[in-house]
A = this chain, B = another copy of it.
């Protein structure tokens, strides 16, 4: 397909303040109940005008209260005014009280902003199974709203306020040009633990000045999330709270619509690029990881086969441990590829590390051990597995598994 658009990605950027008409605010209200009023834990993103909104949510059977509330709100309202998010408490598995808390959070902010309660989206991330300290959160919302602005520092503060075990904030902006028109897309995200394909404890908030319908935005966001946030794995654990939200306020005047295929293509790719940058930042900041590995499976019969094999490799504890040890242990790669049980044929497999051949037609080739070792000793490298069965391909980004991860997550 011809490419009638131009995309410019800026990685080191303040985040949502890049797009006209969006304000951000943040507060530290000790949601973690640790008497720490320095750590930011509450963020708001507010649109001057009501903005078209769409979301992609965890597919976990167990969905946290804010996820359920957002799904309902997006069904009722095509447009929303603001997002409120907190870190430190996931408000998940908190029963009826948790649902009330999530709804009350929306009502509280709605009243402050003079909109309907269904026009607010809410996100939480943190520990599961504890009730939200609502009085604290309300104070945090008061503070975040009263201090909110369109300045970079507030956008950065908001990006910091949603972090949990992340070590750094994650932002991006993307300029999309097509047919002499221009739209901006900008976003912020958090990740760190429980990161697995199909949404993981990750939150991503993306804003744009494009003019678009909810149904089309939903479609574009689903496409972008599927090829980015759903193609990363840190630990194979999928969270109860994963959420990607996108708000489009239309201030650019540029319409993305079914009548203009180029506009859809351009916007969708822009969203995808923004999502990819955020997804890569999430993996790169996975809990105590030391490597980011791109797993590419090519020559599969179907994309489904390629994806299954990508995930089996990227989630194998033995493979991930060997990456941590910089051990070019290809046996573990073929083993895990095999237990995806997709009908691969060992005798047809070609494998390389960063272009350095490892297996040819399933047979170990002349020893390249020194070169393999060099490849897997880099902080990022690629594993390329060619099945030679067809033409489909898929990729995921995966981290290694470290002793640090286990100790970090053993809790208490």
Contact = CB atoms under 8 A, between A and B. Distances in A.
Contacts of A337: 61-62
9 contacts: A95-B363, A128-B329, A128-B334, A196-B339, A237-B316, A237-B335, A325-B409, A325-B410, A403-B403
A321 B405 contact: yes
Interface string A122-140: 0000011100000000000
Given A61-B344, A92-B335, A337-B62, A326 B406 contact: no
Copies in the complex: 2
A362 interface: yes
A336 B62 CA distance: 9
Contacts of A321: 405-406, 409-411
Contacts of A347: 95
A129 B59 contact: no
A88 B61 CA distance: 43
Interface of A: 59-63, 90, 92-96, 127-129, 193-194, 196, 198, 235-240, 315-318, 321-322, 324-327, 329-332, 334-347, 359, 362-364, 401-407, 409-412
A226 B61 CA distance: 27
Contact of A128 (B196, B238, B335, B342): B335
A188 to B, nearest CB: 24
Contacts of A324: 406, 410
Contact of A403 (B326, B343, B407, B412): B407
Name which of A128, A326, A343, A410 has the most chain B CB atoms within 10 A of its CB.
A410
A409 B341 contact: no
Contacts of A236: 315-317
A363 B130 CA distance: 11
A410 B406 CA distance: 14
A59 B327 CA distance: 26
A331 B95 CA distance: 12
B62 A322 contact: no
Contacts of A359: 93
A402 B347 CA distance: 35
Contact of A327 (B364, B401, B410): B410
B411 A325 contact: yes
Name the 9 nearest CB pairs between A and B, nearest first.
A128-B331, A325-B410, A62-B338, A327-B411, A403-B403, A321-B409, A95-B363, A129-B331, A238-B339
A402 B406 contact: yes
Nearest to A237: B318
Nearest to A128: B331
Contacts of A338: 60-63, 240
A361 to B, nearest CB: 8
Contacts of A342: 61
Contact of A322 (B196, B402, B411): B411
A238 B401 CA distance: 18
